Amino acid sequence: MTTGALRLTTMREDRGSVVLAIAGEIDLATADTLIEAVSSILAAKGVRRLVLDLGEVRFLDARGVAALVTAHQQGAGRGVAVLVINCQRSPMRVLEITSVDKVLTGRQPGQR
């Protein structure tokens, strides 16, 4: 799925894991598209883990952070683990500044 400056690719893995590869920008213009995609994945039967791969995300604003937090909360509400991986330096810095990096990535303090 491609919308504006956002490209989403879903890959199902074994044992109930789904990887959502995200490319482009997660911002005011694209955050709702991401939330809709996450909601759809979480509504599918058998999903136990959702991995958000931000390896190709080059920009993340406050609305994007809110979308990632919403994804995490939706997952928790359904008993699905939601984890952010492969976050590039600039988006990771935004997550660190907003103090949600540890919750979303599972990193411990001081871990890179």
List pLDDT tens digits, range 7-27: 999 999 888 999 999 999 999
**Summary count for the chain: helices (H), strands (E):** 4, 5
Torsion of CA 12, 26, 103, 49, to 10 degrees: -10
In a domain, 38, yes or no: yes
- The residue with greater pLDDT, 60 or 2, is 60
In a domain, 21, yes or no: yes
Tokens of 87: 């976050």
Using CA atoms, how far apart are residues 87 and 85, in angstroms rounded to an integer? 6
Structural domain range at position 18 = 8-83
pLDDT for 97 beyond 90: yes
In a domain, 103, yes or no: no
pTM (global) more than 0.85: yes
CATH of the domain at 71: 3.30.750.24
In a domain, 104, yes or no: no
